[in-house]
Chain A
């Protein structure tokens, strides 16, 4: 059994998004309950959140953007940059705790206290751009973790795998000119789904050319198509890139029962994806896999999906 960390903190529920918003605080207790009811909680190493040191956030985000975000929350605004991004007084604090918790987990993995980890954070991060909040995201958690791995821990090659049903535009844009971070995303085709990026021909620019890869999936597709695309696109790319650490943007919203997408992935399909990622980690990254929650909005499905996710990490 692996030493698997589980970042969970009730303060992540302080970020309130108002009525009818799919990215709601209840998602996290659902995930917790699912893991608990599967009898896995006691096997995990529970990590509490801590605030992030601002210097790591500033490695990704523009200083003025960070101040703008803080001011919007503390001044009582209800949205930031777009009506999609509902904020409350505590949103800024929750976002700081999300980043800080993840960076703490990264350190523990690098020190060998943990083999791998699942970070059940809110708010999510992969749509957040350098100076713009988008799609329920404020700080790009995974991007900051990648920079932290490189600058604090001397990691040269970070691999990011994003299987949220929406393309991680923020993460892609942050690293698209960078050959030291490989960004792979599989998501619903951008002509049919938010945010409208992540086309097959987006493969990175300048020195980052060839270090971004996108697998857009057409509406209505499920397990078979995901398996085919990941085998064709992800596995050979990571076998060549050989990431020293793998960060995963975990979205459970491609599930057939999640009404945020037209995808038809089954619960077993998600397990298949995670097992392939674990194999890549074993081959190239000494098992160092840190997964970070992005989307996934079906409160009925989140418990089983989260439980299976951590079970695969425990048995990695």
Chain B
């Protein structure tokens, strides 16, 4: 699950003297929101986001009422004046999990991926991570999702898998989520079949509880909202 497998390799970059206005066009034309800034050696020196550009635009520029002088001034502005210098970057051997946690904690939308000499190798964005999880969830392959509530004890999943395997039904994915009730787990099984009525009856006869689909959730805000987020101590390369 290395980042190198999921990142975008053909990265669109700019150098630090590129006018902001040009960077904005590049982003719009390519539907992207992050532009790594590199030097002649492809070494990462900064990153500029669409939000950086929007904050730098004079208000009347947007309103189309700014003076010629203001316009010229803005057109001459290079990205180095608004970019984040020496941004957080990760190595290609970081895992998807590292990237997920780091993106969540640092509240950035993308992480440049660099080698030991900080030369740019790729970029991984929230969008790349979403794609990976759409794949893991098996959405896109035809099937039916069921949710089974089990006691948190060894061997529950085996019973479920055995029962379903005996019916000659294949699994698209299995997710075990925390169910916000003590000692319980919610097992989401994605079955590659339309023929679920029989499987449901069988699970029911084995004493499993199938949760009403309207009660399903993969994530819920913790009851104690003030609990501090766990701090990560991953050092960027």
Contact of B145 among A22, A135, A192 (CB under 8 A): A192
- Decide if B145 touches A84 in the complex (CB within 8 Å): no
Q: Could you give, for residues 199-229 of chain B, a 1 whenever the CB lies within 8 Å of some chain A CB and a 0 otherwise?
A: 0110000000000111000000000000000
Instruction: Evaluate whether A194 and B194 lie within 8 angstroms (CB atoms) in the complex, with A83-B168, A83-B169, A83-B170 already known.
Output: yes
Q: What are 27 A-B residue pairs whose CB atoms fall within 8 Å in the complex?
A: A20-B167, A20-B195, A22-B195, A82-B193, A83-B168, A83-B169, A83-B170, A84-B195, A127-B142, A134-B142, A135-B142, A135-B194, A166-B194, A169-B142, A191-B145, A192-B145, A194-B142, A194-B144, A194-B193, A194-B196, A195-B194, A196-B140, A219-B213, A220-B213, A259-B197, A259-B200, A297-B197
Could you say which residues of chain A place their CB within 8 Å of the CB of B39? none
Interface residues in A241-284 by Cβ distance below 8 A to B read 259-260, 262
- B141 on interface, CB distance cutoff 8 Å: yes
Q: Cα distance A136–B196 when bound, in Å? A: 13
Q: Cα distance A191–B137 when bound, in Å? A: 11
- A193 on interface, CB distance cutoff 8 Å: yes
Q: How many residues on chain B are close to A (CB under 8 Å)?
A: 23
* In the A-B complex, the 8 residue pairs with the closest CB atoms: A195-B142, A219-B213, A194-B194, A259-B197, A135-B194, A192-B213, A194-B144, A20-B198
Q: Cα distance A186–B24 when bound, in Å? A: 42
- Decide if A83 touches B140 in the complex (CB within 8 Å): no
- A21 on interface, CB distance cutoff 8 Å: yes
- B161 on interface, CB distance cutoff 8 Å: no
- B19 on interface, CB distance cutoff 8 Å: no
Instruction: Evaluate whether A220 and B214 lie within 8 angstroms (CB atoms) in the complex, with A82-B192, A166-B194, A260-B196 already known.
Output: yes
- B143 on interface, CB distance cutoff 8 Å: yes
Tell me the nearest residue of chain B to A188, going by C-beta: B213
Instruction: Evaluate whether A193 and B144 lie within 8 angstroms (CB atoms) in the complex, with A22-B195, A259-B200, A260-B196 already known.
Output: yes
Instruction: Evaluate whether A260 and B143 lie within 8 angstroms (CB atoms) in the complex, with A83-B170, A219-B214, A220-B214 already known.
Output: no
Query: Footprint of A on B, CB under 8 Å?
Result: 139-145, 167-170, 192-198, 200-201, 212-214
Q: Cα distance A194–B196 when bound, in Å? A: 9
Q: Cα distance A70–B168 when bound, in Å? A: 23
Q: Cα distance A22–B201 when bound, in Å? A: 13
Could you say which residues of chain A place their CB within 8 Å of the CB of B143? 194-196
- Decide if A196 touches B139 in the complex (CB within 8 Å): yes
Q: Could you give, for residues 130-147 of chain A, a 1 whenever the CB lies within 8 Å of some chain B CB and a 0 otherwise?
A: 000011100000000000
Instruction: Evaluate whether A196 and B141 lie within 8 angstroms (CB atoms) in the complex, with A83-B193, A219-B213, A262-B213 already known.
Output: yes
Could you say which residues of chain A place their CB within 8 Å of the CB of B170? 83
Could you say which residues of chain A place their CB within 8 Å of the CB of B214? 218-220
Could you say which residues of chain B place their CB within 8 Å of the CB of A259? 197, 200-201
Instruction: Evaluate whether A22 and B197 lie within 8 angstroms (CB atoms) in the complex, with A218-B214, A220-B214 already known.
Output: yes
Could you say which residues of chain A place their CB within 8 Å of the CB of B200? 259
Query: Footprint of B on A, CB under 8 Å?
Result: 20-22, 82-84, 127, 134-136, 166, 169, 191-197, 218-220, 259-260, 262, 297
Say how far A271's CB is from chain B's closest CB, in angstroms.
24
Tell me the nearest residue of chain B to A218, going by C-beta: B214
Say how far B216's CB is from chain A's closest CB, in angstroms.
8
Tell me the nearest residue of chain B to A189, going by C-beta: B213
Tell me the nearest residue of chain B to A82, going by C-beta: B192
Could you say which residues of chain B place their CB within 8 Å of the CB of A136? 194
Could you say which residues of chain B place their CB within 8 Å of the CB of A195? 142-143, 194
Could you say which residues of chain B place their CB within 8 Å of the CB of A297? 197
Could you say which residues of chain A place their CB within 8 Å of the CB of B198? 20, 22
Say how far A278's CB is from chain B's closest CB, in angstroms.
29
Could you say which residues of chain B place their CB within 8 Å of the CB of A192? 145, 213
Could you say which residues of chain B place their CB within 8 Å of the CB of A135? 142, 194
Could you say which residues of chain B place their CB within 8 Å of the CB of A166? 194
Say how far A168's CB is from chain B's closest CB, in angstroms.
12
Say how far A229's CB is from chain B's closest CB, in angstroms.
17
Q: Cα distance A252–B97 when bound, in Å? A: 45
Tell me the nearest residue of chain A to B192, going by C-beta: A82
- Decide if A220 touches B142 in the complex (CB within 8 Å): no
Q: Cα distance A297–B214 when bound, in Å? A: 23
Tell me the nearest residue of chain B to A135, going by C-beta: B194
Could you say which residues of chain B place their CB within 8 Å of the CB of A260? 194, 196-197
Could you say which residues of chain A place their CB within 8 Å of the CB of B192? 82
Q: Cα distance A134–B212 when bound, in Å? A: 26
Could you say which residues of chain B place their CB within 8 Å of the CB of A193? 144
Q: Cα distance A82–B193 when bound, in Å? A: 8
Q: Cα distance A218–B201 when bound, in Å? A: 22
Q: Cα distance A260–B168 when bound, in Å? A: 18
Tell me the nearest residue of chain B to A166, going by C-beta: B194
Tell me the nearest residue of chain B to A220, going by C-beta: B214
Tell me the nearest residue of chain A to B199, going by C-beta: A20
Say how far A15's CB is from chain B's closest CB, in angstroms.
16
Say how far B173's CB is from chain A's closest CB, in angstroms.
12
